[in-house]
Structure 1
């Protein structure tokens, strides 16, 4: 018989990671259907711009508001999702959001003019904006801190795939069906999500302490973000007076919101103090810049493939598929390592891979081969999958369950703002480079991708401040 050690306490082995059982996976699949609809629909219309222009006899600038209106509505809805889930419960808020999104989808399909379509896209965006944050917070509450990292790593691949799948799905639909099916395709997915959620997703009680809705904050934050994005969009269209008014007014409203959030005696819609507390500040910066990089690139590449290489909408979508495959592979990798590898290591490695996959696009002016494009996109996809899940796990595992809806709303707001502001900024840069480069379209896009490289470097600087260890270690 072996002798027990004396004078020292034997080390207790670390408990194995909590198992993600089939019931939790089923709940995750149901909730991710809502995220899938909302994020795919943000880009599915991009390939239908020409079709809608002809259908409604509108200009490209007018029809572009079909996409912009949806994105601005999402920006407006995300901040309120945390309060709604905390007040009425996560499942109820999620179900209502799906219903609003489906109502907007039906109205869009019935639109009779460009103006009516833009208005109905706002309705659709208000529902879609609440789905990702509400679904993530509800899933984190159900999973518990021990399983949050692994389950979030599974579902977080969907927002990464959606910008890739949107143009591909949109191009396929327009190849076999009329334009209303760009919106009607949401109906069977949404109906299935509602039926399955009512049966399998448990009711999570709302916060025990009811807080009043921060109306003043809502009137400053959401419109301020929308006006700022509008101003940046106007710069891209070379309308400088509306751009100056929009950027100035938007920035002033956001400053006003920050001052209000610091001074109010109540609970602000988004607490500015959150961003000063580690690791939330570093996590927020990583997600903000990730949104700019992902959505900005998904704006640039389809446009480059169709204008610089004369590809069809479907062909452009297929060219983007390697990034989706890389994201899927990266999600599997993260799922297996998220409980074993330090969050900072995963995130910094992911940003490094995105940077590595972005640099080749700065050489588009030198006839970059298709094989290099495919490889670069695959590497970017793996890198993107290594950021979102670890960052969200860091935050979700370090806050109280009752605060999850507000934290999820803040994180998704930053990702959305990063995507919208990043896209608008890159559109301005691209337009200026096109003016300088003239007929050399490829070089204009190459110049613009240096800005994406800059976004990646900024994200890396913020990620170095993330924790080296997991919560509780």
Structure 2
């Protein structure tokens, strides 16, 4: 008896939406946690009597744990099954969150954040794998739009939630809030996710693990140290970056030898996956790096509270909410090469306003620009991922998801470091105030540094009777932000180059379903 091609329903049915609900819960915890913690760094400095460099490791440690565990996810999903592994990741993340809330020292908090990262690193690639298998190739676009909600709204909701929890309760609650969400997600996953069908025959690539995981961790450690040192020549930066890069390059050459490598770079023979990966990486460097500086502008130049800065970022999320469902449906019907470039132009148009920011730029203009950027974001990231995963077979999805997540993690870290260094170097060019030194470090205080401190604490500015010093310093600081945003704007435009090579014709979807159904040709 011959098997006829079976087309899945055009819409996402209840069973698929239930599975999507589990994945979105996990993604919300993982992504929100990164941005919620970022607004708590000053609080950690006060609570633990630590320096900024020390508390920044609560972010860096989490990132390094993500980078270490993501490469293992593809193999582990095949070996143990996605349901079992996803629930283990949820448990690790939730346990790490509770332990973070009990930390008595900055060292303990960093250690518990690493445990959190081990769980969080598996949630996104596993979630993408679970959802892609559940929906089938013809509905990947709609499903990616669902998963895109936490990915795009997390950076906006995080500062709002973090600011509110710290003001209304204490810093402990930015971690404790994950406990009820984690318990609900675990119960939900046990009920809804389909039973595993692991493939125990596949061997584990120990040699690959010994090269790739430490290589990524070392490289990202060096990159993460760049904003602190401000120069590539610092030993703390170039030594781990070089060692990590050599290990990763060694893995690239080695990975084509074993039958089941830790990270399957053979997938890059798929042109659509390669083009989508390059586009996603360039976009992440450009936007995620500069995107983290938007709240900083509102905090340091305009003197807004953490909560208000988060609320001012909300238009971006609203814009993404408008276009994301539309982009998801279009991605299943229209080649992404015809839609993504227009979305990138929207992002660039919104970005341009931030290249002109000053000390009193209209909030109406900036919020409107963020809304336009959000419209573009909703039509960019998820359609690119759709193009990457659509033509992979069922057995390749876990590996493809892992590859995309590693690229995104590396690109995000590089983008953040680049933008932070550019901004810091711009601010450091501000003239020093004669005879004024930092009481802690003993270094001269610049006009821009004093102005930013005075914005956040007016009593600082009252010590200087000459208001022109603060005015000059604040204007210099605003110009520094504008210069940094210009770099992000140019990088966003450069994303159009790889985006031009995204699929511009209808594709045959190659994702095989779990049963005997054959792939369906999109039309």
* Fold conserved between structures, TM > 0.5: yes
Give unpaired runs (5+ residues) of structure 2: 1-6, 431-447, 449-472, 509-521
Counterpart residue number, 2:279: 286
1:192 to 172, 181, 184: 184
- Once the two structures are superposed, what CA deviation does each residue of 1:218-271 show, in whole Å capped at 9, x if it has no partner? 222222222222222323222712112122222222211212223x23322223
1:111 to 100, 103, 106: 103
1:277 to 266, 270, 273: 270
2:51 to 54, 59, 67: 59
SS at structure 1 position matched to 2:59 = helix
Contact 1:343/1:470 (<8 A) preserved = no
Task: Report the CA distance shift for 1:17/1:289 in structure 2 as closer, same or farther (over 3 A).
Answer: farther
Contact 1:295/1:423 (<8 A) preserved = yes
SS at structure 2 position matched to 1:237 = helix
Q: Which moved more, 1:143-152 or 1:29-38?
A: 143-152
2:71 to 63, 68, 79: 79
SS at structure 2 position matched to 1:289 = helix
- Once the two structures are superposed, what CA deviation does each residue of 1:172-230 show, in whole Å capped at 9, x if it has no partner? 10111111111000011111111111111212423x47322222222222222222222
Counterpart residue number, 1:4: none
Correspondence 1:331 to 2:324: yes
- What's the RMSD between the two structures over aligned residues? 1.8
Cα offset, 1:300, TM superposition: 0.9
Correspondence 1:124 to 2:116: yes
Question: How does the TM-score come out when normalised to structure 1?
Answer: 0.93
Task: Report the CA distance shift for 1:110/1:449 in structure 2 as closer, same or farther (over 3 A).
Answer: same
- Once the two structures are superposed, what CA deviation does each residue of 1:105-164 show, in whole Å capped at 9, x if it has no partner? 011011110011001100001100100110110111111122222222222222111111
Asked which structure has the greater CA Rg, the reply is: 2
Cα offset, 1:329, TM superposition: 1.0
Cα offset, 1:102, TM superposition: 0.6
Contact 2:89/2:123 (<8 A) preserved = yes
Correspondence 1:445 to 2:481: yes
Cα offset, 1:388, TM superposition: 2.2
1:456 to 472, 492, 496: 492
- Once the two structures are superposed, what CA deviation does each residue of 1:424-457 show, in whole Å capped at 9, x if it has no partner? 1111111111112443111111111122123212
SS at structure 1 position matched to 2:97 = helix
Separation in 1 of the partners of 2:420 and 2:410?
Answer: 15
Task: Report the CA distance shift for 1:401/1:376 in structure 2 as closer, same or farther (over 3 A).
Answer: same
SS at structure 1 position matched to 2:187 = helix
Contact 1:292/1:418 (<8 A) preserved = yes
Separation in 1 of the partners of 2:428 and 2:505?
Answer: 48
Separation in 2 of the partners of 1:201 and 1:238?
Answer: 46
Counterpart residue number, 1:421: 414
Task: Report the CA distance shift for 1:111/1:209 in structure 2 as closer, same or farther (over 3 A).
Answer: closer
- Once the two structures are superposed, what CA deviation does each residue of 1:78-129 show, in whole Å capped at 9, x if it has no partner? 1111111111111111100000001110110111100110011000011001
Counterpart residue number, 1:178: 170
1:387 to 380, 384, 387: 380
1:158 to 137, 144, 150: 150
Matches within 5 A, 1:237-386: 237-238=228-229, 240-262=234-256, 264-365=257-358, 367-386=360-379
Contact 1:290/1:415 (<8 A) preserved = no
Counterpart residue number, 2:393: 400
SS at structure 2 position matched to 1:279 = helix
Task: Report the CA distance shift for 1:469/1:203 in structure 2 as closer, same or farther (over 3 A).
Answer: farther
Separation in 1 of the partners of 2:18 and 2:387?
Answer: 23
Counterpart residue number, 2:27: 35
Cα offset, 1:17, TM superposition: 6.4
SS at structure 1 position matched to 2:380 = helix
- Once the two structures are superposed, what CA deviation does each residue of 1:367-425 show, in whole Å capped at 9, x if it has no partner? 42111110111111121121222222223221110111111111111112111111011
Q: Which moved more, 1:379-388 or 1:121-130?
A: 379-388
Question: How does the TM-score come out when normalised to structure 2?
Answer: 0.84
- Number of positions where the alignment pairs a residue of Structure 1 with one of Structure 2: 457
Task: Report the CA distance shift for 1:242/1:27 in structure 2 as closer, same or farther (over 3 A).
Answer: same
Structure 1 residue runs of 4 or more that deviate by more than 6 Å after TM superposition: none
Separation in 2 of the partners of 1:105 and 1:320?
Answer: 26
Cα offset, 1:16, TM superposition: 9.7
